[in-house]
Each structure stands twice: as structure tokens, then as C-alpha cells.
């Protein structure tokens, strides 16, 4: 979710189609159902009201409702194209009675205090510069005893990006505002969350990203060219080559974070 996206969507239909070929239908970040399962280890969403922040193209909503038994899922994003894809996916799977989507503007969310049992987010907070304000808003939205569970793309530290990282971000072309995992932990604690858990996932993705790179320049290449054209395919092959470098060096790394709102009060 980005400020720029409110004016011009960053995830075009072409990009959504390309990422679906690499990561699976409805997913705009890696790992698919397996990484969602990693995030939800020990967290029960059955019968709960769940908010998915930066929901993307609907793959996560499908899992939350169909596989994890959420009673109601609200997926929000700032970009209309991804929400249209998400609505079509959920309608095809017959889950529109339990899953809905809403386009929101950047900033504090337009929902009442204590509206949700669980807040979920996968690789979207990277687009939100003020992590502290975001954590405070999620705390506000959760009912007492509610859980925030999320993953994000992170930096190894708060230092300026290296030349390799800048080259990757230039070709990626998205509005990134990355921080290191400790900042997320501090922001959660400052917002009032307890039992904060932080988990670095770089070891996992180091293997995955190389596999993705080999697939898009090998067995997936023909399908990508047919779907998005030669120029976009070649751009993404180069993008993944640079991504392998910054993930391999550890400068860019995925991480998980969890916090629980105290049950004794708002």
C-alpha cells in the first residue's frame, strides 16, 4: 500500500498476471499457501473477523476463509486493479458471502475501534513509511486479546542502501520504505502490543529466490512472454537477477512479526 498508488496504481494488470505465474493465482509476494501457514503457526483464526492490510489479488483471503475457517475477512488495498482481481477470484470460489474488499486511502484506516479479532498483512507494510503510526492504528482496530500477524520485506539495518540495493529498487520501480526487523519490534511494543515475536526469514528466501530466478528464465519464460511480452519478461529476468544478489547478501530480507493486544483493556 503506497501513497503514490492513490494517484497511479503501481500494480498493473500486466504485473499482476506475471506475479501470478511466478507466485500463484492471487499472490503478489512469494511463498504462497506455505508461507501463509508459516505466518499462522499457533494462531487460530477460525470463527474470527480478520482484516488483511494490503490484501493484493485475493489469494490470502481465499486461504483465510476456505482453509483456516475465518468467519469474515475484509481485504483492503489502495489499488483498484488488484482489488478487481481479488473480487473475481473470490466470486469464482463461491466465498463472496464471507469475504469482501474495500479500497482505502493511505493513512489511518476508516474503521471503528476494536473492529477485528485478527489483523493480517503480508509484505505490504514496506510501502508505509511510518511503521510506528501503522502499529498504533492496528492496535486501535483490534479487540482486546486480538492478534496482529504480518510479514514484510526488510533491510538488514537502517543504513542507506548500497549501490546494488539502489539498482534493484530502480528496476523494481515500486515505492519502498524499508526498515530493519528491530524497528518493527520497537514499534509494536510502543503501540502497546505484548508477547511480541520477531522472526527473520532470510535463510528460507535465499533458496526460494534462486529457484524463482531459474524458473522465470527457464521453464516459465515462454509462458511469461505469451502473457506479458518479451520486453517485460526480460525486465523481470534482470530484476530477479538483482534480487538474488541483495537477498543473498542479506541486505534485503523477509521477516515475520506478531503482537497481541492485552485482553484486559483497549
Average pLDDT rounded to a whole number, residues 218-232: 93
The reply to whether 208 falls in a domain is: no
Question: Taking residues 52-59, what's their average pLDDT?
Answer: 94
Q: Is the pLDDT of residue 8 over 70?
A: no
Task: Supply the mean pLDDT for the chain.
Answer: 92
Higher-confidence position of 85 and 265: 85
Give 156-212 pLDDT, tens digit per residue.
999 999 999 999 999 988 778 899 999 999 999 999 999 999 999 999 999 999 999
Q: Residue 152 belongs to a domain with what CATH number?
A: 3.40.50.150
d(CA 71, CA 133): 28
Domain count, the chain: 1
Q: Is 214 part of a structural domain of the chain?
A: no
pLDDT of residue 179: 94
Residue at 217 is within a domain: no
* Whole-angstrom distance, CA of residue 189 vs CA of residue 195: 9
88 pLDDT higher than 60: yes
Grid coordinates given for 45: 483464526
In a domain, 98, yes or no: yes
Whether 225 is in a domain gets the answer no
Q: Residue 193 sits in which domain range?
A: 4-165+176-203+253-260
Residue 82 lies in a domain: yes
- Matching residue, cell 506455505: 34
In a domain, 218, yes or no: no
101 assigned to some structural domain: yes
Q: What is the CA 241 to chain-centroid distance, rounded?
A: 21
Predicted pLDDT of residue 167: 93
Amino acid at each position: 500500500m503506497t501513497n503514490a498508488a492513490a494517484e497511479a496504481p503501481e500494480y498493473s494488470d500486466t504485473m499482476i498476471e506475471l506475479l501470478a505465474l511466478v507466485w500463484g493465482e492471487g499472490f503478489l509476494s512469494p511463498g504462497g499457501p506455505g508461507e501463509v501457514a508459516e505466518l499462522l503457526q499457533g494462531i487460530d483464526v477460525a470463527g474470527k473477523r480478520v482484516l488483511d492490510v494490503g490484501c493484493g489479488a485475493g489469494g490470502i483471503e481465499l486461504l483465510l476463509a476456505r482453509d483456516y475457517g475465518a468467519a469474515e475477512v475484509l481485504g483492503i488495498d489502495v489499488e483498484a486493479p488488484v482489488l478487481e482481481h481479488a473480487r473475481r477470484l473470490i466470486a469464482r470460489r463461491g466465498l463472496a458471502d464471507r469475504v469482501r474488499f474495500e479500497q482505502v486511502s493511505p493513512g489511518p484506516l476508516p474503521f471503528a475501534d476494536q473492529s477485528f479479532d485478527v489483523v493480517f498483512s503480508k509484505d505490504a507494510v514496506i510501502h508505509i513509511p511510518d511503521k510506528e503510526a501503522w502499529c498504533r492504528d492496528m492496535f486501535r482496530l483490534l479487540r482486546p486479546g486480538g492478534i496482529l500477524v504480518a510479514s514484510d520485506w526488510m533491510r538488514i539495518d537502517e543504513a542507506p542502501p548500497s549501490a546494488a540495493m539502489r539498482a534493484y529498487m530502480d528496476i523494481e520501480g515500486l515505492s519502498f520504505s524499508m526498515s530493519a526487523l528491530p524497528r518493527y519490534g520497537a514499534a509494536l511494543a510502543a503501540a502497546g502490543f505484548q508477547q511480541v515475536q520477531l522472526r527473520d526469514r532470510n535463510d528460507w528466501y535465499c533458496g526460494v529466490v534462486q529457484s524463482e530466478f531459474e524458473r522465470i528464465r527457464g521453464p516459465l519464460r515462454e509462458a511469461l512472454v505469451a502473457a506479458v511480452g518479451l520486453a517485460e519478461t526480460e525486465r523481470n529476468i534482470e530484476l530477479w537477477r538483482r534480487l538474488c544478489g541483495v537477498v543473498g547478501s542479506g541486505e534485503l530480507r523477509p521477516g515475520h512479526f506478531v503482537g497481541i493486544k492485552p485482553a484486559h483493556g483497549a
